[in-house]
Structure 1
């Protein structure tokens, strides 16, 4: 079915408003099928689409569902940035503090008008961390095509799950990151075998310089993501866990290889139940079509 009133948002742009991940945002239609929803993102020239529900839940959350061309997602960080940016543009407010329901979890969101766009933050919640099993790690590393010189000298791969698990894989510098050419078929098979959403390959922030990352998720129909906000929150949790600190803030640049420079912010904090994170990004809302 043709879907009316789709707005495209460049989510998680760099600070000057360039780049970002094109994300389709529209009001959900209860008469639509999931096949209809899967068709929206590619029709809009986006990798993901966010569908805003018409009614709030008893807990005050506004339902938002996320779809790629092949699947519904239990969560989408840059999609949340896009969805909340659109919601703010529908008001006359300078700031919108609200609640969103996605994947069975209700969480706080904040959207603020800025000169270069709309800044959005959301509570990612608890991030579970574990070390990958040797065969799990070997399968992902082989699919990525990493050479013997590529791994980071002091950091190591980790499985992080704010809901859906993904593998975080550190490399030693941006050169190693940018020359990666994964075997996407092999990576798809490995991610499905081990129940992983995808693989977030990164260079940690250091010396005041932002980190850099690339997210590969062909198992859900996204060969490479322009910006993956949830994985950035996962990285903040991992770096906090290995640092011994109580809080940590990071910025991670993404999308350069795809010609869509993007930037995601994240903070992590230790609490009585584990490590919780907040994730943020700047969004530019294009005209609807």
Structure 2
């Protein structure tokens, strides 16, 4: 996370490269409203700016809560990202914070004929495999959700990244979120591949987990805990809760962030 300065967008894209991270979030504090700080967030990968980033939002909330710790036990802020304004909360201490936020409405649809097969082929998944269920989901930018039978099938994936990027670019997708069929208690695992935005594989992806939660809201699940990052040696868990009302699925998503020491990018 970086305090926003007068950097150009090209310089912002260079920050995650210099820091050795998949994403960077830039924050700028504004005026307080209704007793809450208002904070603007911008997200960048090496390939450009994103309209939203779930795990970047969790990280930003953790750092903001750490800074406010002397004044507030529970931190709450109004966040602005892209065209959205929404609430985020964080609690904790000792450099470890639990954060949760509203990712916004999730749009769900089935892929057009042939589109799922295009992505499955790049992932190395047999399109006739009964467990390979595909959905298109969006909280700002669309991505494809792909279900596989279990964690071992997920761990064994070795996508052709060039082919996957070509497929995602052709279909206008942010990337592909592959997940194992959740256990009855809502525990699952996932891997997020997004070569089109310069992230071959992400260690955590809260917005895609929110998309999955919305997709499963009609299938008996009210909460999910999704393990990610194991294949990269950086394990993480994203939590989501969901319920339905007349307007559709309502999702809250978050996780626990540990604040490491700062680094110099000069």
Moved over 4 A (4+): 56-60, 148-151
Which of 125, 128, 139 is 1:162 aligned to?
A: 139
Counterpart of 2:27 in structure 1 is 52
What is the CA deviation profile of residues 167-224 of structure 1, one whole-angstrom value per residue up to 9, with x for unaligned ones?
0000001111001011111111111111111000001221336100000000000000
Following superposition, the deviation at residue 99 of structure 1 comes to 1.1
Work out which of the residue numbers 103, 113, 116 in structure 2 matches 1:134. Answer: 113
Distance (whole Å) between structure 2 residues aligned to residue 58 and residue 87 of structure 1: 16
Stretches of structure 1 lacking an aligned partner (at least 5 in a row): 1-24
> Which residue does 1:39 correspond to in 2?
14
Q: Does 1:109 align with 2:111?
A: no
Consecutive unaligned residues in structure 2, runs of 5 or more = none
TM superposition shift of 1:62 = 1.4
RMSD, aligned CA: 1.9
The structural deviation recorded for 1:265 is 0.2
Preserved contact between residue 61 and residue 106 of structure 1 (Cα < 8 Å): no
Check the 8 A contact 2:66/2:93 in 1, yes or no: no
Aligned with residue 283 of structure 1, among 248, 253, 257:
257
Q: Whose relative contact order is higher, 1 or 2, with alpha carbons under 8 Å and at least 6 apart?
A: 1
Q: Distance in 1 between matches of 2:191 and 2:151?
A: 10
| Aligned equivalent of 1:124, options 103, 109, 117 | 103
User: Which residue in the other structure is 1:214 paired with?
Assistant: 191
Give the corresponding residue for 1:227. 204
Q: SS in structure 2 opposite 1:180?
A: coil
Q: In 1, Cα distance between the equivalents of 2:66 and 2:214?
A: 31
Contact 1:57/1:63, CA 8 A, preserved across alignment? no
Question: Using the alignment, how far apart are the partners of 1:147 and 1:175 within structure 2?
Answer: 15
